[in-house]
Amino acid sequence: MSAPHPARLAALDLLDQVLERGLPLSEDARLERLAPAERATAARLAAEVLRGLERADKILSGYLRKTPEPRVRNILRLGCVELCTGGAAHGVVSDCVEIAARGKVTQGAKGLVNAVLRKVAAEGPAIWGKLRVPRLPKWLRKPLVDAWGPQVVAEMERAHFNGAPVDVTLKGARPEGLEGTLLPTGSIRLENPGQVSVLPGFSSGDWWVQDAAAALPVKLLDNVSGLEVLDMCAAPGGKTLQLAAAGAKVTSLDLSEPRMVRVRENLDRCGLEATLVVGDALEHQGQYDAILLDAPCSATGTIRRHPDLPHAHQGEKISELIGLQSWMLDHALSLLKPGGRLVFATCSLIPDEGECQVEEALARHPGLRVLPPEQDWVEERWRSEEGGLRLRPDFWPQRGGMDGFYMAVLTRS
Ligand SMILES: C[S@@+](CC[C@H](N)C(=O)[O-])C[C@H]1O[C@@H](n2cnc3c(N)ncnc32)[C@H](O)[C@@H]1O
């Protein structure tokens, strides 16, 4: 038998890493050893399996008498999702069997993998589309249903299952040949992007990848030209790039040194400048005209592009993050010049990390006000009661959705 496709093998390692070790998809150093195209295929395959996990388990349960050993189960899940979503039956089945045959723990299950996947190849595709849209795990579904109701959560789950398009933010003019749709908020949604680093304008730094919703917190600051602006949790730097491109004097701060290397690379590629500081936002000192606090959070608004997130953990850290967000917000307010503007943002779907943070900050800080956004691209349904914006993955369904985000502009006299 021939060697299994390296991308399929890598996708399986990624699945083991997320489902058995609770680590995010992005943290696998072994991926670095693959060629860029194979790396992209492995990441795509693993993401597709995670999105369709509930359906795959349902189909596989019809052919298994007991739950197999974890690595075997993941081989079957990988094969099942590929077979049910258009993968060529012979290639998928023989690769999965070969992967099983090569592993010490899995070689005894080679026959099982072969038999089950042959049945899936014959019957699975017809079953797949009739199964319900996969649900979020309970730890996340429950607080979201409490906050938004079951209907909205079902729509969010559909958006997660559909995945995310690739959006870019332009530094200035749109480069010739960059194909995509101009969104009402100014981002470009790419058509069939493939490998983005070969697209027109990438190497010349004319744009960077950034979800349309993630581009909005900086846009809420409007004209920042010539202002001293602190980007308080900056890495990997999408918002620092926006601020620098808009002419702000940016101090870009983040706790993570390796992530700050990416901010430097991004600035260099785009020919933009910012002062980079590696450090703890809670200890940073200075006075700024404007501050962007894109606080660390559950990142539950990004599940469309990070389908590992609901599976890699059980939300254990969320209460810790909520505490950190309010300390950061208090400290950020102490760094804001009188009359300055602060945008508080989180890529979370959980109101405790968004609306509630702002409501509680207003109660803690007399004189603090929310400035409801007046930009013409703001849709009325995005507005939240306390004056911020609530964006959800189920918004813009015809356009391909957007990341979940919360953002509000604060000022103090
Ligand atoms: C949501 S991400 C920021 C994304 C970034 N604003 C962008 O647009 O590319 C949150 C960041 O907060 C950083 N962070 C976490 N704790 C921090 C702290 N105490 N001080 C500074 N940065 C911190 C993390 O390293 C992470 O890069």
User: What is the CATH number for 25?
Assistant: 1.10.940.10
Last residue of a domain, one of 67, 97, 128: 128
114 C-beta neighbours (distance < 10 Å), count? 16
Residues 263 and 365 in one domain: yes
How many CB atoms neighbour CB 191 within 10 A? 11
- What is the CA(233)–ligand 1 centre distance, in A? 4
Q: Which residues are annotated as a binding site?
A: 233-239, 254, 294
Neighbours of 110 (CB within 10 A): 19
Q: Find the angle CA(26)-CA(27)-CA(30) to the nearest 5 degrees.
A: 105
User: Is 72 within the bounds of a domain?
Assistant: yes
**Residue positions in the annotated binding site for S-adenosyl-L-methionine?**
233-239, 254, 294
Residue 35 inside a domain? The answer is: yes
| Nearest residue to 304 via CA among 405, 190, 408, 406 | 405
The answer on 118 and 246 residing in a single domain is no
Any domain includes 142:
no
| Residue 391 in contact with ligand 1 by CB distance below 6 A | no
pLDDT computed for residue 1 by the predictor: 66
- Span from the CA of 116 to the centroid of ligand 1 (angstroms): 44
Residue 306, classified by CB atoms within 10 Å of its CB into exposed (0-12), middle (13-18) or buried (19+), is: buried
Q: Are residues 228 and 366 in the same domain?
A: yes
Q: What is the pLDDT of residues 292-349, one digit of tens each?
A: 999 999 999 999 999 999 987 788 899 999 999 999 999 999 999 999 999 999 999 9
User: Residue 122 belongs to what domain range?
Assistant: 6-128
Looking at the fold, whether 193 and 84 belong to one and the same domain comes out as: no
pTM: 0.94
Kindly report the protein residue whose alpha carbon is nearest to atom 23 of ligand 1. Answer: 255
Task: Say if CB 265 and CB 275 are below 8 A apart.
Answer: no
254 lines ligand 1 (CB under 6 A): yes
332 domain-assigned:
yes
Rounded to two decimals, the ipTM of the complex is 0.99
Q: For residues 72 and 102, give the distance between their C-alpha atoms in angstroms, rounded to a whole number.
A: 12
For residues 406 and 391, the answer to whether their CB atoms sit within 8 Å is yes
- 96 catalytic per annotation: no
- Do 219 and 337 belong to one domain? yes
Does a structural domain hold residue 386?
Answer: yes
Give the residue whose CA is nearest to atom 17 of ligand 1: 255
Task: Judge if 224 and 279 occupy the same domain.
Answer: yes
Domain boundary (101, 128, 155) is at 128
Kindly give the distance from the C-alpha atom of residue 234 to the centroid of ligand 1, in angstroms, as a whole number.
5
What pLDDT does residue 28 have?
65
What are the tokens at 14?
């990624």
Beta strands 249-254 and 275-278 are parallel
Low-confidence ranges of the chain (pLDDT < 70): 1, 27-30
* Ligand 1 pocket check for 236: Cβ under 6 Å: yes
Rounded-to-integer distance, Cα 20 and Cα 386, Å: 41
Number of structural domains found in the chain: 2
Query: Are 192 and 289 found together in one domain?
Result: yes
